[in-house]
Amino acid sequence: MSVVAGLAPRHPQQRRIKVLLAKPGLDGHDQGAKVVARAMMDAGFEVIYTGLRQTPEAVARMSLEEDVDVIALSSLAGSHLPFCRKLRTLLEANGLTDKLWLIGGNLPAQDHDELRSLGFRGVFPTGSKLDAIVDCIRAEVK
Give the confidence band of 36 by pLDDT, cuts at 50, 70, 90.
Answer: very high
Q: Is residue 124 part of a domain?
A: yes
Q: Is residue 8 part of a domain?
A: no
β-pair partners for 69: none
Give the confidence band of 6 by pLDDT, cuts at 50, 70, 90.
Answer: very low
Q: Is residue 3 part of a domain?
A: no
Q: Is residue 25 part of a domain?
A: yes
Q: Is residue 111 part of a domain?
A: yes
Q: Is residue 123 part of a domain?
A: yes
pLDDT at 3: 38
* Domain residue limits at 102: 19-130
> Residue 121 sits in a domain of what CATH number?
3.40.50.280
pLDDT at 13: 56
Give the count of domains, the chain. Answer: 1
Q: Which residues of 7-17 are buried (b: 16+ CB within 10 A; e: fewer)?
A: eeeeeeeeeeb
β-pair partners for 40: none
Q: Is residue 63 part of a domain?
A: yes
Per-residue pLDDT reduced to its tens digit, 115-131:
999 999 999 999 999 99
